[in-house]
Amino acid sequence: MLEQFGSLSPANVQKWQFTEPKQGVFNYTQADDFVNFALKNKKSVVCDTLVWHQEYPSWLDQKKWTKEELLKVIDQHVYSEVSHFKNRCFSWNVVNEALNDDGTWRETLFYNVTGTDYIATAFRAAARADPKAQLFYNDYNIESPSAKSTAVENLVKTLKKQNIKIDAVGLESHFIVGETPSEAQQQQQMQAYIDLGVQVLVSELDVRFSALPPTEAGLVQQTNDYQSSINACIKVGKQCMGLYVWDFDDAYSWIPSTFPGNGDGDLWYANFTTTPAYDGVVSALEAGELKNY
């Protein structure tokens, strides 16, 4: 199974609550285990996540920060973590899910104290710590034209105007069977980001059923939905830097706990047998002459 993937990404162990559980006290033990395993098996590592409004340590909520203080904390955290993994991470999800679906800024601890300055601070710190790593902004519901996608485009423009390194936009691509944006819509939106001078990656692809068990027609649709993302990435060429699934099997999927009654969204079932969508993904990759993507 491992040989079918060219890259690996950790689910949680590089997130802030694990890597800096107490202010200024860093713990990279679990993350090092993951990264070392990936590199030992000759896989590139898509490192994840530096700044997110979830899975950050409780000490951040236990103090009333000034803007300057919190920006310094963000800078120190990002710089420390990226420095620790320098030359081991192919890329970093630097800032995750900073926008609401209507394109407005999500009101988080970081935004409420610093406005949008925390985003620039995080990207600057990551670039300073590892200039060779590919840095990306990551979000969901930005895979086709929408107010949120436009807001991401504006974010990219803003960072670039400030000469801040941003290399890519990560499209989470958490889809529902039968409600996935079309191949044409995904390709159009990918190209819109690319036209701004960044690459794209399909960063967390899964296509879940909203009701279980799936029907035969539903399994066919799920295969088509997976292929829409694969084909869109292939058609924009090398500017789509990768395709990643989240997770690869239903046994450890995040979906059932987040969306009760939903599931079977991955390429392997919980018993580790492959789904029809797996065969469809392999066919699409082979047709596009892409392997281990």
* CATH number for the domain that contains residue 285: 3.20.20.80
> Average pLDDT in the 101-120 region?
98
Q: Of all helices (H) and strands (E), which one includes residue 193?
A: helix 183-194
Per-residue pLDDT reduced to its tens digit, 112-155: 999 999 999 999 999 999 999 999 999 999 999 999 999 999 99
Per-residue pLDDT reduced to its tens digit, 212-239: 999 999 999 999 999 999 999 999 999 9
Could you tell me the residue range of the domain that residue 274 belongs to? 155-199+206-293
Which residues have CB under 8 Å from 121's CB, separation 6+? 71, 74, 75, 78, 114
**99 inside domain:** yes
Asked if pLDDT for residue 290 goes beyond 90, the answer is: no
Chain CA centroid to CA 287, Å:
25
Shared-domain flag, residues 265 and 171: yes
**pTM score of the predicted model:** 0.96
Shared-domain flag, residues 7 and 118: yes
Shared-domain flag, residues 211 and 128: no
Neighbours of 72 (CB within 10 A): 13
Active site members: 97, 204
d(CA 250, CA 121): 36
**144 inside domain:** no
**11 inside domain:** yes
Shared-domain flag, residues 165 and 220: yes
Number of domains the chain contains: 2
> pLDDT value at position 291?
45
